[in-house]
Chains A and B, each alone.
Chain A
Amino acid sequence: MTNSVQEIEDADCIFIIGSNTTSSHPLIATRVYRAKEKGAKVIVADPRRIHIADIADVAVQQNLGTDVALLNGMMKVILDNNWQDQTFINERTEGFEEFTKAVQGFSVEKAAELTGISTEDITAMAEIYAKSDKASILYCMGITQHTTGVDNVKALANLAMLTGNLGKESAGVNPLRGQNNVQGACDMGGLPNVFTGYQKVTDEALHDKMSKAWSSGKFPSRVGLTIPEMISGIEEGSVHGLYVLGENPVVSDPDSNHVTKALEKIDFLVVQDIFLTPTAELADVVLPGASFAEKDGTFTNTERRVMRVRKAIDPPGEAKPDWEIIQELSSKFGYAMHYESPREIMEEIAAVTPSYGGISYARLEGPGLQWPCPDQGHPGTPYLHKDKFARGKGLFHAVEFIPPAESIDDDYPLWLTTGRNFSHYHTGTMTRLSPTLVCEYSENFMEVSPEDARELDLSQGEQVSVASRRGEIGVRVQITPRLKKGTVFIPFHYVESNVNKLTNPAMDPIARIPEYKVCAVKVEKNP
C-alpha cells in the first residue's frame, strides 16, 4: 500500500476494484464503513455484486478482464471535462502527452460496450473520484491475476496521478496483500530478481555488497526462475530438485493437474510445512516446521508495517521453528549459519537492507514500524511518494485494452472467476481444521445467477460438474443474484474440488502472474 490502513477512514472517496474487501480483508473493510459514516463516497467495481457494494454510491459489475477498458473510460471522462489535477501532472509526472493520446483515442461508449457498464455509471464514477480531494484506491487479486495484470495496475496508477491522488494522506493506490507475510517474503528477497529491499541481483555493485556480507559470491548476477518457470523446468528436465517452504503449489497453482505431474516427476522434493499438505504428500522428505504461535520473528503487513510475532507455546512433538531447520540444513550443506535467535537475524537484515536499516527488535515493542525506515532515528513512513516518487517523476503509461487469454465459445459458454469466502483462507490447510470456520462453509460451491440456473435447469444445492479445457471438478450449486448472467464463481479453498484444475495458467508477460480470474467453463448436470 502507498498509504496506511488507518488513513482509509479519512478519505473522501474510496474506489474498490477487484477486492472482495469484507471477505478477504475484514479489518480493512471496517475502515471503509467508518469512512462512509464520516461522509466519504464509495465506488465499487467487481464482476460480482459483493457485500460492500451495499454501501456504495455507485456499484458496477464489469465483465471479467475488462478493467483497463473501464479505467480508460473513466480517464477519458475526466480529460473531456477537464477534471484532472494539472498542477500535480506538471510538477510531479512525465509521459502525460503520450498517455493522453492513448486515452483520447478511446471512447466512453466503447468502454461501456466492453465492460457491460452504462456510460452514465462510468461518468458518475469518474466524477466522484476526480472531484474528491482525497481519493483512495483499494485493489486486490481481482486486478492482478490477469494476463493484463501489470496493465491493470498501471491504469490505476494513471488514474491516481491524473487526479493528484498520490503522495498525500488518505489517498494513494493501495494493493491489499492476501497473505500475512507476502509483503515480508517480497521484502526479504524471496524473489528471483532481487535481494532484500528490492536490491537488484543484476546490479554488480549490489552483487559485490551481498557477496561481502554473506562471505560467498556463489550466486549469479542474472535473474532466477519464477515458480511457473521452475515447474516447466522440471518437465523439461532442467530442474531436478525443489525445496518448498510453507507453500502448497499443488492446490494453489493454476492448472494443478500439470503441477502435480511435475512434482511426481522431479528427482528430489523436500517440503517443510506444519501439515501433510497435498504437496507434502508428494515429497521425498517432509520437515515439520512450527506455526506462528510457536516461534519468534516478524511479519510485514500490507501497509509495510513490520510487527513482532511472539512465541506462545512449544511446537508439537519434534517440530522446530523453521529458521532453526533452514540454518541446520544450510550448515550441513556446507554453508554454515549460527544464529542464536531471530533477533540476531533481524540485525543482519537491517545491516544489508536500506529500507529496513532502522528496524530492530527493541524498536518493535508497540505498534511496529513502517518501512522505508532507513536508520535508528527514523520514525517510519506512513505513506509513500510524499514529495517525489521513488523514481523521481511519476511516469504515465499509455495502456490499451487487451482481452483475456481465453474466451467463452459454444463448448465452454460460461465465464469463471475465483476467490475466497469469508470463513476460509487460501488452500484451506489451516481454516478447514477450525471447527467454527468449517461450520460456516464445509464444502465447495459454485455461485451462479438465477438466469443461468434457470437456463441450465439447476436447483439450489444440486451437485454438478464444471469443466474447462484443462480439467473437471464437482461442486454444489448456489444460486445467487450476486452473479450476473454468463459468469460463475467458485472459491479456491477446497482440495477435493480444486477450482485450480480449471483455471488458466496463461501469464502476464511481465509479472508472470497467472490468469486465475478469467477462464471459460461449461456446467453439466450429473447423470
Chain B
Amino acid sequence: MEYTTALTTCTYCGCGCNFYLEVLDGQVIGTIPCKTSPTNEGKLCIKGWNVHEFIQSPKRLTRPLIRKNGELVEADWEEALDYTAQRLKEIAEQNGPESLGFMASAKVTNEENYIFQKFARAGVGTNNIDHCARL
C-alpha cells in the first residue's frame, strides 16, 4: 500500500483554503485541512471536507468525443485535436478570426487561462475571450 499527500488549494469558492489530499494506491480517499494556511487556518467547510468525493466519479470524461451522425462517440486525441484545429482554422479563414469566441474558465489554473487567451489572441487573432466572472 502506498499512501501520499499533496498540499493544494480548494477548487470551490474564492476563499482559497489549503488542504492535503490523501491518496492511497492512486485513489483520493480524504482531505486534511492545512493548519498553516493563512485563509483557513486548519478549518474547512462541508464542501471542502468532502472535495475528494467527486474527483474520481465514474461520470468523469476519460476519452475525447466527436459528434458523428448526430451522436457523440469516443475518439483518440490525435483525431479529436486534428479535427478541432482544422474546423477552427476553416471558420477563421472563411469568416475571419472575429467569428470565433473563447470562453475561459474560473475553474482552471492561472497558467491554463494564460495560454488559452494567448491562443485566442496571438494564435487565432481575436479578443473575443471572456469567462463567467459576471455569472
Q: How far is the CB of A297 from chain B (nearest CB, A)?
A: 3
CA A280 – CA B56 in complex, angstroms?
19
Q: Is the CB of B109 within 8 A of A319?
A: no
With an 8 A cutoff between CB atoms, is A189 at the interface? yes
Q: Is the CB of B11 within 8 A of A240?
A: no
Q: Is the CB of A243 within 8 A of B102?
A: yes
8 Å CB interface, B84-127 against A: 84-85, 87-89, 91, 94-95, 97-127
CA A30 – CA B55 in complex, angstroms?
26
Q: How far is the CB of B23 from chain A (nearest CB, A)?
A: 5
Instruction: Mark A163-192 against chain B: 1 for CB-CB distance below 8 A, else 0.
Output: 000000000000011111111111111111
Q: Is the CB of A312 within 8 A of B134?
A: no
Instruction: Mark B44-75 against chain A: 1 for CB-CB distance below 8 A, else 0.
Output: 11111111111111011111111100001000
Q: How far is the CB of B124 from chain A (nearest CB, A)?
A: 7
Q: Is the CB of A434 within 8 A of B101?
A: no
Q: How far is the CB of A511 from chain B (nearest CB, A)?
A: 6
Contact check: which of A296, A321, A337, A437 meets B50 at CB < 8 Å? A437
Size range of the interface on B?
A: 35 or more
Q: Is the CB of B109 within 8 A of A302?
A: no
Q: Is the CB of B91 within 8 A of A268?
A: yes
With A223-B127, A230-B128, A425-B13: A309-B133 Cβ-Cβ less than 8 Å? no
Q: How far is the CB of A260 from chain B (nearest CB, A)?
A: 15
Q: Is the CB of B130 within 8 A of A230?
A: yes
Contact check: which of B27, B44, B99, B134 meets A511 at CB < 8 Å? B134
With an 8 A cutoff between CB atoms, is A423 at the interface? yes
Collect the chain A residues with CB atoms within 8 Å of residue B9's CB.
Answer: 180, 292, 299, 301, 307-309
Q: How far is the CB of A424 from chain B (nearest CB, A)?
A: 8
CA A349 – CA B63 in complex, angstroms?
30
8 Å CB interface, B23-59 against A: 23, 26-28, 36-40, 43-57, 59
Q: Is the CB of B47 within 8 A of A291?
A: no
Collect the chain B residues with CB atoms within 8 Å of residue A349's CB.
Answer: 110-111, 114
Instruction: Mark A220-261 against chain B: 1 for CB-CB distance below 8 A, else 0.
Output: 101111110010010000111111111101001110000000
CA A443 – CA B21 in complex, angstroms?
28
CA A182 – CA B15 in complex, angstroms?
11
Q: How far is the CB of A498 from chain B (nearest CB, A)?
A: 13
Collect the chain A residues with CB atoms within 8 Å of residue B127's CB.
Answer: 192-193, 201, 219-220, 222-224
8 Å CB interface, A307-325 against B: 307-314, 316-323, 325
Q: Is the CB of B105 within 8 A of A185?
A: yes
CA A318 – CA B46 in complex, angstroms?
30
Name 4 extra pairs, CB < 8 A, besides A6-B39, A242-B102: A28-B15, A180-B13, A323-B111, A330-B123
- 5 closest pairs, A vs B, by CB? A317-B62, A301-B16, A297-B109, A224-B127, A190-B104
B residues apposed to A, CB below 8 Å: 4-18, 21, 23, 26-28, 36-40, 43-57, 59-67, 72, 76-77, 80-85, 87-89, 91, 94-95, 97-135
A residues apposed to B, CB below 8 Å: 4-6, 24-28, 30, 144-145, 176-193, 195-196, 201, 210-211, 214-216, 218-220, 222-227, 230, 233, 238-247, 249, 252-254, 267-268, 270, 273-276, 280-281, 283-289, 291-303, 305-314, 316-323, 325-330, 332-335, 337, 339, 342, 345-346, 348-349, 366-368, 422-425, 430-431, 433-437, 440, 511-514, 516
Sample (18) of A-B pairs whose CB atoms are under 8 Å apart: A184-B110, A185-B106, A211-B122, A216-B122, A219-B121, A220-B125, A224-B129, A227-B130, A240-B99, A285-B83, A289-B108, A293-B21, A301-B9, A312-B5, A322-B109, A334-B89, A436-B49, A437-B46
